Amino acid sequence: MPRTKRLVPTDLPMHIMSRSNNKQVIFNSDTDKLRYYSLLLNLKNENMVDILHYCIMDNHTHLLIMPNSQTKLGRFMKQVNLSYSKYFKTLNDYSGHLWQGRFKSNIIDTDSYLLQCGKYIELNPIRAGIVRFPQDYKFSSYNYYAAGTNDKLITASPTYLALAESTSRRRDNYINFLINKNEINTQRLVKQKFIGNNNFIQKLQGVYNIRCVPLKRGRPFKI
Q: Which pTM does this prediction carry?
A: 0.88
Strand order in the sheet with 104-108: 50-56, 60-66, 14-19, 104-108, 194-195
Pairing of strands 14-19, 50-56: unpaired
Burial class (CB in 10 A: 0-12, 13-18, 19+), 2: exposed
Between 60-69, 89-98, 100-109, 149-158, the lowest mean confidence (pLDDT) is in 100-109
For position 218, what pLDDT does the model report? Answer: 43
Contact 178, 184 (CB under 8 A): no
Q: Which domains does the chain have, with CATH numbers?
A: 14-182 (3.30.70.1290)
Cα 40 from Cα 152, distance rounded (Å): 10
Closest CA to 117 of 36, 62, 162: 62
pLDDT tens profile 130-178 = 999 999 999 999 999 999 999 999 999 999 999 999 999 999 999 999 9
pLDDT tens profile 111-120 = 778 999 999 9
Q: Is the dihedral of CA 56, 61, 67, 72 positive or negative?
A: positive
pLDDT tens profile 180-206 = 866 666 666 667 778 777 888 888 787
Torsion of CA 177, 186, 196, 148, to 10 degrees: 30
